Structure 1
Amino acid sequence: MRVLGVDPGLTRCGLGVVDGGRGRSVTAVAVGVARTPPADELPSRLSAVADEVERWMDLHRPEVVAIERVFSQHNVRTVMGTAQVSGVVALLAARRGLPVAFHTPSEVKAAISGSGRADKKQVTTMVTKILGLAAAPKPADAADALALAVCHLWRAPMANRLAQAEARAAELARTHRARLEAAAKTIRRGDARR
């Protein structure tokens, strides 16, 4: 499976493409950053990020897009820009029929380093090792995008199994309720005949 990881941001939007193989085997395909000048107007910046993400989708043909889930920060302006970029990327993926997965920063850190509290340097070091890269991806946004893709590849099989188990449990519950209702009707009919 090929995953496009996106670390959303207006000034620097990290992009990373990773292929997943058997088990936990992962291979880096591409990594980079879409940049926009802070002095530009918001619509222009969002358009520039969208153009770059579309270029990456055309070039690398991902099967799924993994985006970092926006979390509350002290700087509301930064959160808004990050959320807007996330929305643009999710829209681009949806228009292509690509599934979108959102992962929290702590999920990504835990998947990559074993600790949900790992710092950016630890994540970058682990991504470099996991993917067998000759040099650490820079800036941190690029490393984070690769981390998102790897996180999704490693978490998706378990999430799929959980979803299948939940669906099976719901079906069993529906069947059980239907049997109980049928038994209750039979009992009521028997009581009515007496």
Structure 2
Amino acid sequence: MIPGKAKAGGQPVRILGIDPGSRATGYGVIDCQGHALTFVTCGVIRTSEKKPFPERLEEIYDGIREVIAAYKPQLAGIEDIFTAINPRSALKLGHARGVLILAARQHGLLLEEYSPTVVKQAVAGYGQAPKEQVQHMVRVLLKLVASPSQDAADALAVAICRANHR
């Protein structure tokens, strides 16, 4: 069987979506069986701004490893870096993405990277959709009773995008 492809009537594929950030990293886990998507969990890994940056990277790394260990996804998707106005912020985001990618690969996850435009298009049908529309569509697609935080909704959108591209 091809990794990431569930047999008809077989077990669902568990997918982790990651919205990287140096201060707040969103994560979302869904199950995908055929075209059916089921919400599993979501949340945000927040770092302490009082700590030195290397320690914050360790918090991000440890946080995503805990999520992976607890929910055991088979596939993962991560949002790619967007063009940032502040080069220093872009570099910090790149470092955060690096530790997230490393954690996913160390757990053997098949990881794909998606641009923000591709993620938005996967959930909202429009690559320039505002965050509120993405948040709303994630809620609708996963049949949630309430909208997750923006970071968690973005991560769930990445997971949905990964499900669509598997």
TM-score (norm 1): 0.77
Whether 1:154 and 2:157 are equivalent positions in the alignment is no
2:81 paired residue among 62, 70, 82: 70
| Alpha-carbon offset, residue 128 of structure 1 | 0.3
> Aligned equivalents of 2:26 and 2:16: distance in 1?
10
Whole-Å separation in 1 of the counterparts to 2:159 and 2:56: 24
1:104 aligned onto 2:87? no
1:39 Cα shift? 2.6
Which residue does 2:15 correspond to in 1? 3
Output the amino acid matched with 1:31.
C
Q: Secondary structure at the match of 1:81?
A: helix
Counterpart-to-counterpart distance in 2, 1:99 and 1:64: 5
**Structure 2 matches for 1:15-26, cutoff 5 A?**
15-23=27-35, 25-26=36-37
Note the 1:125-144 alignment, pairs <5 A: 125-138=136-149, 140-144=150-154
Amino acid of the structure 2 residue aligned with 1:155: H
Max Rg structure: 1
Bigger fraction of residues in helix: 1
Q: Which runs of 5+ in 2 are unaligned?
A: 1-12
**Is 1:119 aligned to 2:130, yes or no?**
yes
Which runs of structure 2 are paired with 1:38-77 in the superposition (5 Å)? 38-77=49-88
RCO comparison, higher one (Cα < 8 Å, 6+):
2
CA-CA distance at 1:111 after TM superposition: 0.6
Instruction: Name the amino acid aligned to 1:77.
Output: R
The structure whose residues are more often strand, as a share, is 2
Query: TM-score w.r.t. structure 2 length?
Result: 0.90
Task: Provide structure 1 residue ranges, at least 5 long, that are not aligned to the other structure.
Answer: 157-194
> What is residue 95 of structure 1 aligned with on the other side?
106
Q: How many residues align?
A: 154
Match of 1:189 in 2: none
Secondary structure of 2:165's match?
helix
Greater shift, 50-59 or 87-96, is seen at: 87-96
Let me know the Cα RMSD of the aligned residues: 0.9
